[in-house]
Amino acid sequence: VKSLFGARGPALLLDSKHKTWLVVTIVVGGISWGVYAVWDAGTPGGSTGGSRIGLLYGLLGAGCMVFAGLLSALRRFPRWGMLGSRQWWLRGHIWLGLLSVLFIFCHANYRFGGPIEIALWLVLALTVLSGGFGLLMQHVLPRLLGTQIDNEVPFEQIPHVCLELLRKSDKLVELLCGQEYAPTEGLPAGKRQLRAYYEEQLRPALAAKGRSADTLILSGMNVAAKIKQLGQLPGLEASGKELADLESNCKKRRALVEQERLHAWLHGWLFVHIPLSAALLVLGMVHVVSALYF
């Protein structure tokens, strides 16, 4: 846990700048719920989504959702930055998105409703949960990336860096054992074994795309033990530096696999959150049109 959050706790995404939003959300949510509960208790048979207050809360909930959805638009249209900073919109996205659940909860009078409404509830719940999960990931993983990954590179650079590592490793082995596919007869046993080890195990792992690289082969203990063993064989006694570089390349490649894995958690939730938001938009429109018509 200490490694995750550090001795002084995590580098918070939900930092003190969220305090105002938190307070406003709690106060507005509490008052809204209180007002609705009183109104509902005073309404014979309970309020409905189609009643005046139900419609009002539905409108508020939809407004909060639209605001939350505009975060994506803001990224596409940077000129909208004059309406507020990205951080401000992100905070609004988080807290108003949460508040929208409360408004919709009241709008529905704590009921699930018909098929469209049940689908809406399901999609809304999954959207909020995936958002919450994403928030947690964004909260924890950047810190973890900083502490666990030594040679962190920009995410978009990873394929390029992987190729670079492969190229460097190829060059090292070529330097030590001759060109690829060249006959190995006559080479010292150490170089022959290095060539075989590299071509059969290390190179496929280094050449694998993205996270598919075999981290077991690239694991520090395996590579270090093997290279130490190879270094003692005839022909490689004086190649300690080159072998150390090869071991370092494997270590870096392994770190990149780990970085990609963490990145997948860091951004993968968006593959759920954003499409569900789109589904929410469609179902919400259907609900609004059908409910207001009937």
Nearer to other proteins (CB atom), residue 91 or residue 273: 273
Region of residue 235 (left: phi > 0; alpha: psi -120 to 50; beta: else) = left
Nearer to other proteins (CB atom), residue 25 or residue 127: 127
Other Cβ atoms closer than 10 A to 24:
13
Nearer to other proteins (CB atom), residue 144 or residue 236: 144
Cβ 232 to other proteins shortest distance, Å? 28
Cβ 152 to other proteins shortest distance, Å? 7
Cβ 293 to other proteins shortest distance, Å? 5
Sign of torsion, CA 54 56 57 59?
positive
The CA-based angle 259-154-14, given to 5 degrees, is 75
- As given in the structure block, the two tokens for residue 118 are 């049940």
Nearer to other proteins (CB atom), residue 162 or residue 236: 162
Cβ 254 to other proteins shortest distance, Å? 16
Widest Cα–Cα separation across the chain: 97
DSSP state of 48: -
Using CB under 8 A, list all residues that contact other proteins.
42-46, 48-52, 55-56, 59, 111, 113-117, 150-157, 159-161, 164-165, 267, 270-271, 274-276, 278-279, 281-283, 286, 290-294
CA atoms within 13 A on the CB side of 76: 5
- Given a contact cutoff of 8 angstroms between Cβ atoms, the answer to whether 276 and 127 are in contact is yes
Cβ 194 to other proteins shortest distance, Å? 23
Nearer to other proteins (CB atom), residue 136 or residue 153: 153
